[in-house]
Amino acid sequence: MDSTLSNQGMTASAAPRTTSQRIKSIFSGSIGNMVEWYDWYVYSAFSLYFAKAFFPKGDLTAQLLNTAAIFAIGFLMRPLGGWLMGLYADRKGRKSALLLSVWIMCLGSLIIALTPSYETIGIGAPILLVLARLLQGLSVGGEYGTSATYLSEMATKERRGFYSSFQYVTLISGQLLALGVLILLQQVFLTSAQLESWGWRIPFVIGALCAVVAMLLRRDMAETESFTKKQSDKPKTSTMALLMKHPKELLTVVGLTMGGTLAFYTYTTYMQKYLVNSVGMSKSDSTLISAATLFLFMVIQPVIGGLSDKIGRRPILIAFGVMGTLFTYPILSTLHNISTWWGAFFLIMAALLIVSFYTSINAVVKAELFPTEIRALGVGLPYALTVSIFGGTAEYIALYFKSIGMESGYYWYVTGCIAISLLVYISMKDTRSNSLIDSD
């Protein structure tokens, strides 16, 4: 982005900030994060309606497999986004990188909104859909590491877990906003036929417009003190060379992310389809259940983030690992046979409560592992690689197990990944008392 903007942000942040200034900057960064994740999740929330528009006729599972494959393709760009945007954020500033990422997301949403159907342009429709998801993957891949770094550096030591938890508050609120738009279109404004015909384009237009608003908000963000202090002490070696000096921390990010991100995508983005395609619920019921559980999930994040400021990060992560390993299979297998709205709600809510012990603090834990000069890259790149492998393929693997008549195999797959992450949680140091942010 414009170096003038970056320099203005650094000058404005030279003096220590008040609590109100910190909150204002965290709010501005978080709102942008919400818009980016809204754009990312709208694809998943509306895929039940637009699958027919982009692919030849076939049964619902086959069409969903195609949309899930493109969802996974979008994740392939996230490591590249984590790398490029991480380098940019560590060299030019967190603010500049966050501005750039929201512009890229805006472009991706516009492409999806304006792409003609398969019946109109044939193979060009899925090709343009892939292009749009690649752009969105690049944006989100860069957003996570930079946003996690920005919130962690902007927060005070005593409240870092609490403030950093708002990354997932806004991430979830973006997903919730996507579902809210879907509910309004389903229940108030459009028929199911209209949604499948043209109404699914509306949320992508909304996302592109909101991205412009987010950019305007982010222009007024302050740069973090940690970054501005390091500007006068440029490292003599390249950023990637510095990153390679921290192999243990890189592997720690991969290990602690694996189980958590798979569980998160299982109970959020995939769950809406699971309730329709496996449990047999209606599209409207599955959407309402997803919205209700996500709202409570969002509210829980600061509570557990604040708890980590009191008792440490490691006990929180271990709690997720133990409960996730023990209860994933029972929850998913029981949910498969559930017949009531409330039964599905309580089971998914129990699962998301367990996942909260990962989501609420995973950003701050990663940020606390790395020094300032490679923090955005150190958080973003290994995280994006892991999410691409495990989170990005969650829907596809789940649908594959279903297509071969072995749906329970997916339940064991999720359980196993969480168990591996538990081993990492047990062996790692508590980053609250060993934070490199405190040495900035």
CATH of the domain at 52: 1.20.1250.20
Residue 355, in any domain of the structure: yes
Q: What gap in Å lies between CA 274 and CA 251, rounded to an integer?
A: 32
C-alpha 48: how far from its chain's center? 20
Give the single-character DSSP code of 339.
-
Average pLDDT of the chain to the nearest whole number: 81
Is the separation of the CB atoms in 77 and 68 below 8 Å? no
Helices 124-154 and 60-92, packing angle to 10 deg: 40
Residue 90: the pLDDT is 80
Alpha carbon separation from 114 to 52, 128, 180 (Å, rounded): 16, 10, 22
* Residue percentage of the chain with pLDDT more than 90: 20
Spatial contact of 384 and 81, defined as CB atoms under 8 Å apart:
yes
Instruction: Select, from the ranges 36-40, 81-85, 171-175, 340-344, the one with the highest average predicted confidence (pLDDT).
Output: 340-344
The Cβ of residue 156 has, within 10 Å, a number of other Cβ atoms equal to: 12
pLDDT score of 68: 67
2 within domain boundaries: no
In a domain, 226, yes or no: no
Per-residue HEC secondary structure of 266-326 comes to: HHCCCHHHHHHHHHCCCHHHHHHHHHHHHHHHHHHHHHHHHHHHHHCHHHHHHHHHHHHHH
Task: Flag whether 241 is in a domain.
Answer: yes
Report pLDDT digits (tens) over 55-108. Answer: 766 555 656 666 666 766 777 787 888 888 888 888 878 888 888 888 888 888
Contact between residue 80 and residue 145 where contact means Cβ atoms under 8 Å apart: no
pLDDT, tens digit, 9 for 90 and up, residues 275-305: 887 888 887 788 788 888 989 999 999 999 9
Q: Contact 379/246 with Cβ under 8 angstroms?
A: no
Task: Give the range of the structural domain holding residue 58, as residue numbers without chain letter.
Answer: 20-219+237-433
Using CA atoms, how far apart are residues 440 and 435, in angstroms rounded to an integer? 10
Q: Please say whether the dihedral angle defined by the alpha carbons of residues 122, 125, 128 and 129, taken in this order, is positive or negative.
A: negative
Cα 296 vs. chain centroid, distance in angstroms?
17
Number of domains, the chain: 1
Could you tell me if 37 and 170 are in contact, meaning their C-beta atoms sit under 8 angstroms apart?
Answer: yes
Greatest alpha-carbon span in the chain: 62
Is the model's pLDDT at 262 over the cut of 90?
yes
Is 10 inside a domain boundary?
no
Task: Give the mean pLDDT of 412-434.
Answer: 90
Neighbours of 220 (CB within 10 A): 12
Tell me, yes or no, whether 420 lies in a domain. yes
pLDDT score of 72: 66
Higher pLDDT, 356 or 369: 356
pLDDT of residue 172: 84
Name the most confidently modeled range: 60-64, 272-276, 415-419. 415-419
Which span out of 47-51, 83-87, 257-261 was modeled with the highest average pLDDT?
Answer: 257-261
Which residue's structure tokens are 């409240």?
159
Q: Average the pLDDT over 375-404 and give the result.
A: 84
Domain membership flag for residue 379: yes
Please give the Cα distance from 45 to 41 (Å, whole number): 6
316 in any annotated domain: yes
